[in-house]
Structure 1
Amino acid sequence: MRSLAFTAMLLAAPTAAQTAPEAQRPIAASKIVLVGDSTTAVIGGWGPSFCAYHVTSFAACVNLARGGRSSGSYRAEGSWDLALAEMRTPGYKNVWVLIQFGHNDQPGKPGRSTDLATEFPANMARYVDEVRAAGAKPVLLTPLTRRMFKDGKLQNDLEPWAAAIRKVAVEKKVPLLDLNVESSAAVQAMGEAAADRFAQLPPGSAPIGPTATTEIEVRPMAQPKLSFDRTHLGIEGANYFAAMVTRELAAAVPEMRPLLVR
């Protein structure tokens, strides 16, 4: 009788293997940092849609693009220092930095324009060097096309800046997303009327900007300045070009494919 009770007690007792907690596998997380102008930034660019819908939870996606910035002014104001700090944050297996400039480097933008032959390519090359020095991996993007047509033909005024970026990518042996070529081809194929759907507001809409507040003691929340133009993107445009960037990125940087969602 005693032996039967002892056997039952042994069977009921949990083994060491059953009670020992399973060891947690350390996460191998990565980070993607977006650097550029309003065509990448929140409220006007493809970046928000890219971070929200095309990146898995194993990659932090940080959008540091800012409207109105050029390859020169982004650095001069200190935004690049913030981006470098993001690259140096410990704990990430890989950090990729996507860099897209060109729109505000064009002539006629006081305090922002850069010389296409000398200053602009030097700025882009310096970004590449400093990303690598920070231990991160640079990816260059040619600028997203504007959606302006003349006599049914897309006016791609950013092609010279795209060409300069392509040259830097070859010289620095850095992955290139030729967003200018692909976006230009897509916009030309769909035509002006269809491309106008990508704007923040429909054609003819009055601009929407900050509104006054009568609450003296409460600071008003920020409000977007929306307008119809053929440079910036609304939700439909952001979704469309974010998917394009994702396809190009998966092809140009195969190592990133497990982090990307089509």
Structure 2
Amino acid sequence: MIGAVRAYVLLAAVWTRAALQYRASTVMLTLGAFTVTSLDVAAIAVMFAHTDSLGGFGLYEVMFLYGTAGVSFALADLLFGNVDRLGQHIRSGSFDTMLIRPVSPFVQMAVERFTVQRTGRVAQAAVVLAIALPSLDVPWQRAWMIPVMVVCGVVLFASVWTVGAALQFLLTDAPELANAFTYGGAQLTQYPFSVYGADLVRGVTFIVPLAFVNWQPGLFVLDRPDPLGLPHWLRYLSPAAALMLATLAALVWRAGIRRYRSTGS
């Protein structure tokens, strides 16, 4: 594990150093990512210009949910989002090269073309979260959950990306399968789950556990009852959900590696 982390950091540093050879371009792309994702916050502001609550939650509560989900997703995208390019490498035969290198193929896939410009999205979500928290005045007895939910959210999104990537060992041209749950999940978790149907909420709680990114732990932080009446103890299960999904992702990835057959190129 230590060797894998070290290899990831070294490779990420190489890609970052390469990007910084064009500093003006890097800065502009980073600011562009910050600006474009800020449009989501503008949409929330427009909604609250016409209503006092969204699904029973106020402006700063929605901003809190948006910020925590946004930071988790942006970090997962920055660190692991590139694994969805696996299908391209399988078709071209370049994945064979990764298998013979003395570095985990997962690490190579995750860090390939490491894009430092994506930090703009991380910064944007962090700014929204920093604006929301002082207005919510969360006591320390519940504030400890915030870093836990962010870390668990990163693991959950990264695990979904990994499962989707591993399925490309069978479906080599289907990165959209993972994107439906990662980018789609990022959009879903930006808003209170009380605005969605009960069946959808149960599905992202008990099947694809995106509710544990920020909704269930967020209810604990905000000291709010579950609008859909789900059990109170669910809000403490983000670490367990992250561990279970990460374990599943690791098993699926290993199974894909074992069943992989070279293109022969």
Q: TM-score range by the shorter chain?
A: 0.3 to 0.5
The alignment's TM-score, normalised by the length of structure 1, stands at 0.34
Structure with the higher fraction of residues in helix conformation: 2
The alignment's TM-score, normalised by the length of structure 2, stands at 0.33
User: Which has the higher relative contact order, 1 or 2, with Cα contacts under 8 A spaced 6 or more apart?
Assistant: 2
Structure with the higher fraction of residues in strand conformation: 1
Please identify the structure whose Cα radius of gyration is greater. Answer: 1
